[in-house]
Structure 1
Amino acid sequence: MAQELPVRVERKLAAILAADVAGYSRLMHHDEEATHAKLAAVLTDAVTPAISAHGGRVVKNTGDGFLADFPSAVEAVRSALQFQNRIKELTSTDAKDERIALRVGINVGDVIVEPHDIFGDGVNIAARLESIAEPGGICISAAAYEHIQGKIAAGFIDMGELSLKNIDRPVRTYAVVPHELATATAGTRSWPNSILSPLSIVVLPLANLSGDPDQDYFVDGVTESLTTDLSRIRGSLVVARNTAFSYKGKSIDIRQVGRELTVRYVLEGSVQRGGNRFRVNVQLVDAQTGNHLWAERFDKPLADLLDMQDEIVSRLANTLNAQLIAAEAERAARSLHPTALDLYFQGMARWNKRWTLENMVQARDFFERALKLDPDHVEALVGIASIDMSIAGFLLSDNVDEHFVVAERALVKASLAPHYPPAHAFLGCLQLCTNRAAQGIAECEYALTLNPNLADAHAFIGVGKIHLGRAAEAEADINEAFRLSPRDEGAHRWMCWIGFGKFVLGADDDAVVWLRRGLKANPNYPIGHFQLAAALALIGKLDEARVAAKEGLALDPSFTIRRMKNNAFSDDPMFRAAGKRSIQGMRLAGLPEG
């Protein structure tokens, strides 16, 4: 019996055009019959003639849009420009909020062909490009752009490499605009009609799901306070409260909000009261793709509403700061033309991963490149200073004094920038590490007058008190940092600092507990391993101490006890006595003398 041949799948290379009506659900809700009639007229008078004239065919209609294919990318774009211009003419007399406007995405790809449909990645990418196009606009992929550049009477604005929903790889995207509107050429990262600030965000009014209108004041208060706190993030553009509240109670499309307000991120959520508890849910959404980037839930007893509001806002602001930086670092890594801010984000992402000398050097390189583009970039100045200060403070180098001098020079310059609290907080940290603890605490307290929710400043104050011989007070200050930012990237350091405070007080068993907590949170912290080794050795757990010592040396092979002896950091008798005990324990654990 002859073997049956497999059924051949028909494929072809095509230019795929996906289009839909912007705000279709809103238009239908407002007036179904009028919207239906207008869309039919647009398709008959503008779309169908343009597609036919350029050799395309409508593969299928999708209710509020359609899918078409063309044998040529040039003809697909020319067709889209033709019908978009015609639609503008046809709708010019309509009220702005009643106009039919199409969004169009075009891609070139190898697709599977069936009689009444086409399938494949090429189709999916076209559909995703359509979803991020401006109403009345056209977005095309780099694959399409390669075929049409120099052949179309239009401008092209490079939107960069974008992460599109359900598409594994970033897609380089261009907006097609008439020449008179093209304010940028290929190779820039501008958006048509709007330039997005990297940290642009709107806090939409949180929904009150409690069924109790009397709780509206609390819900609105959280929204307003969060808007204010996010505005403190330097470089952020936070949409004003009055504009954000215009969306209250409305059913919205996140991507439409992003386009209307020209923001990259949308924070939305709800508040619900049940019995004696409140639940607050929030999520951060990418306004370009609609992807959810992060979510958080707070369950709290109903006690003092205002205190609870303050805690929620402070925790959200600290967490969002880190989440936004992480998201922007990922975006910046795909940019062919990074700005100073892009490089800063990449440096921070590297800085947050591993507290080893190698990683710090890599992070520093990003900050230095940012400063070459912008010598007065305050965030990059603080970033470089933080690295030098950490290399010295965590004994990752023999040249401690040199690193402290370089760090202080950068921080003094950065602290001259008005209203940038981290510059003052890190300057304070440097001062307390260079035997000026009282001065350092005062500098951190000043940072907190600028931003009361700056968690690092509270933790630094705790460290300063250890350096002043007031270790018993340190835990309360560091716990305040945890309260404000419980999932902070620096939480492992804070735990280890509490551990060292316990060690200074002679509570070695407690010190071991806290040091282990810190290293569990982030094991890539060499000085934490060395201090744990010392504490374990002094309570007689020599085998465990030697293991801790080896783990620390795996991260920092250059560490020696000599570094500890040469850098006391404080003249306080209690602190210096703890330093001598630490050296004794490190010797017992087998760390090299140097």
Structure 2
Amino acid sequence: MLKSSQHSIVVGDRTVDLARELLLDRNGKVVPLRPRAWLVLQLLAARAGRLVSKDEILDAVWSDCEVTEDSLVQAIGDIRRALGMAGRVALRTLPRRGYMLAVDGEPVDSTLPSAVAPSTPSDVGDVSASSAVPHLSIVVLPFTSLGGDPAQDYFVDGVTESLTTDLSRIAGSFVIARNTAFTFKGKAIDVRQIGRELNVRYVLEGSVQRGDNRFRLNAQLTETETGSHVWAERFDKPAADLLDMQDEIVSRLANTLNAELIKAEARRAERSPRPDAMDLYFQGRAFINKGVTPAFMAQARDFFVRALALDPGNVEAAVAAAQIDVSMGSAFLTDDASVHFDAAESALKSALFIAPNHPRAHMLLGAVLLQTNRTAQGITECQQSLMLDRNLADAHGFIGLGKYQLGHGEEVEGHIQEALRLSPRDTRTYLWFMFVGMGKLTSNAEHEAIDWFRRSLQANRNHALSHFQFAAALALVGDLKEARSVAAAGLALDPSFTIRRYRINAKGDNPAYLAKRECFYEGMRLAGLPEG
């Protein structure tokens, strides 16, 4: 199982190279690990076969800041995922004591029992006796099939497995492995008991029923501590090919749960007397989801700065902080957008050096490239993010924006429809609707543009740029009264906006794109927006 030498430890098909301070796969490629998780693994590998207490690990790895035991649990979860199945057996949990890497499948520490049970094959870390339940920890219980069709049974199990995989991609999440979850199949469950047994905060349950012409899926998310429902959803649609339907259902569930779990974790963090770095991260993400206004962005940034002060190696907080700069520059909330884009690009490249397969970091870097006259590269980067996370609907949105900037406004809607297929209730639909409106307006389809801009504001009224572009479209078709009212509402959100700022921060130099932007300037003037 595990073999050691002076400078390396082999765990299954992974090698912990202590000399070069790298975790390598069977092909010699680097397996990414967050800095703190690597330090934990390095310590355990250096003392392979011996117990390392929780206090020793916390003192060695987090000596520069105060953290809860939850941070260690998260690091152990990261390590287990990085090491693969062999690592989940070799990395042992000693209840209430600590952790160890067993040599050749057996401990060598004489103070340990001769038979130490391997940890549960879970993605959550210490599920046996941790005093702190990990953040955003969840088990997806096997969905129930309400029909007698064997093909539907396979489909139901497939939904459960795929959803388990896709939820594990949510930043900061810990998802119980499917092997453990399937031990509850067909059994009566008590969510509070499951929460205690698996050390998770949330349980997702569901059922599937398929008639001759209709398909219905019910899902509900429950908090294990109180047994209270957090969220419920029903999908009811015409029956189609089961495999095609599985992909769509899983994507929609994963994207919806992403937003709901962030809200739930943020509410929980608000009640914490001593929030840790991940508490602060989730609170910041909740503010990002409210909308792109100077006030919301400032509040979100404050949470991420505080999170990074507690845990400088927190990649999720670093990527989220970079998103603030991307949003500030993209939404024309500043006269000098380049300062924000430069800061975001630097932070994202640093994050990708540590976590080269981070989907959102690739997507946001793509957004920066789109906004800094590197449109083709930006589209490629967004496509790379989709290869890493097929459910990243926002990447489709940015690709649509890229097509607009290339002067292909008529192509934008197709990319946004793909984003909406994956995540129809996404917190960022207001941006996607705005992108289509921009494409329609530059394609001489003003009335269609108005419909899309109106949908943008209905989805989220806290986005000033949607107001300004909607006002421009209304003015161009002669509806000056509503145009000026909408413009005034936008200025209430961003009083510093000027047409000059919008012009000087154009996102590229493509001649077709620049020529088509002239209609926005003219419409904004007619709507009464300040020239600057």
Q: TM-score under structure 2 normalisation?
A: 0.75
1:548-579 per-position Cα deviation (integer Å, ceiling 9, x unaligned)? 11111111111111101211111112211122
The aligned counterpart of 2:242 is: 305
Deviation of 1:182 after TM superposition, in Å, equals 10
Question: Is the CA contact 2:292–2:331 (under 8 Å) kept in the aligned structure 1?
Answer: no
What residue ranges of structure 2 are gaps of 5+ in the alignment?
A: 1-67, 71-94, 99-126
Measure how far apart 1:545 and its partner are: 1.1
Superposed counterparts of 1:371-390, under 5 Å: 371-390=308-327
Q: Compared with structure 1, are the counterparts of its residues 275 and 405 closer, same or farther at alpha carbon in structure 2 (3 Å cutoff)?
A: same
Aligned residue type for 2:220: Q
Q: 2:179 is matched by which residue type in structure 1?
A: N
Q: Map residues 438-587 of structure 1 onto 2, 5 A cutoff.
A: 438-587=376-525
* 2:472–2:483 contact (8 Å) kept in structure 1: yes
- 1:376 is displaced (CA, Å) by 2.3
Equivalent residues of 2:128, 2:198 under 8 A apart: no
Q: What pairs up with 1:38-117 in 2 under 5 angstroms?
A: none
Are 2:169 and 1:232 equivalent residues in the alignment? yes
Q: Which letter maps to 1:221?
A: G
Residues 1:347 and 2:284 are matched in the alignment: yes
CA distance in 2 between counterparts of 1:516 and 1:215 reads 40
Gaps of 5+ in 1: 1-156, 160-179, 184-189
Larger Rg: 1
Q: Choose between structure 1 and 2: higher strand proportion.
A: 1
> Map of 1:182-331 to 2, 5 A cutoff?
193-331=130-268
Q: Percent sequence identity over matched residues? A: 61
Distance (whole Å) between structure 2 residues aligned to residue 415 and residue 441 of structure 1: 17
Q: In the aligned structure 2, how far is the partner of 1:216 from the partner of 1:357? A: 49
Deviation at 1:193, TM superposition (A): 4.1
Distance in 2, Cα, partners of 1:282 & 1:232: 19
Say if 1:465 and 1:473, in contact at 8 Å, map to a contact too.
yes
Q: Residue 504 of structure 1 contacts residue 574 of structure 1 at CA under 8 Å; is this kept in 2?
A: no
CA–CA distance in 1 between the matches of 2:389 and 2:97?
41
Equivalent position SS for 1:557: coil
In angstroms, what is the RMSD of aligned CA positions?
Answer: 1.9
Q: Distance in 2 between matches of 1:267 and 1:254?
A: 9
3-state secondary structure, aligned to 1:201: strand
C-alpha distance in 1, partners of 2:434/2:470? Answer: 9
SS at match of 2:290: coil
Aligned ranges for residues 351-430 of structure 1 at < 5 Å?
351-416=288-353, 417-430=355-368
**Residue type matched to 2:418 in 1?**
E
Distance in 2 (alpha carbons) for counterparts of 1:467 and 1:354: 23
2: CA distance between counterparts of 1:293 and 1:260?
20
User: Which 4+ runs in 1 deviate beyond 6 A?
Assistant: 180-183
Residues 314-351 of structure 1: per-residue CA shift (max 9 Å, x gap): 11111111111111011111112111111110011112
Aligned partner of 1:103 in structure 2 is none
SS in 1 for 2:147: coil
When normalised by structure 1's length, the TM-score is 0.67
Match of 2:19 in 1: none
Shift in Å, 1:257: 1.0
Q: How far apart in 1 are the matches of 2:432 and 2:302?
A: 26
* Residue of structure 2 in register with 1:133 after alignment: none
- CA gap of 1:440–1:297, structure 2 versus 1, over 3 A, is same
CA distance in 2 between partners of 1:231 and 1:349 (Å): 19
Who is 2:374 aligned against?
436
Aligned to 1:591, the other structure's residue is in SS state coil
Q: Do the aligned partners of 2:172 and 2:316 also contact (CA within 8 Å) in 1?
A: no
Deviation, 1:398, is: 1.2
- Structure 1 letter corresponding to 2:519: R
Q: Which has the higher contact order (CA 8 A, sep 6+)?
A: 2
Corresponding pairs, count: 412
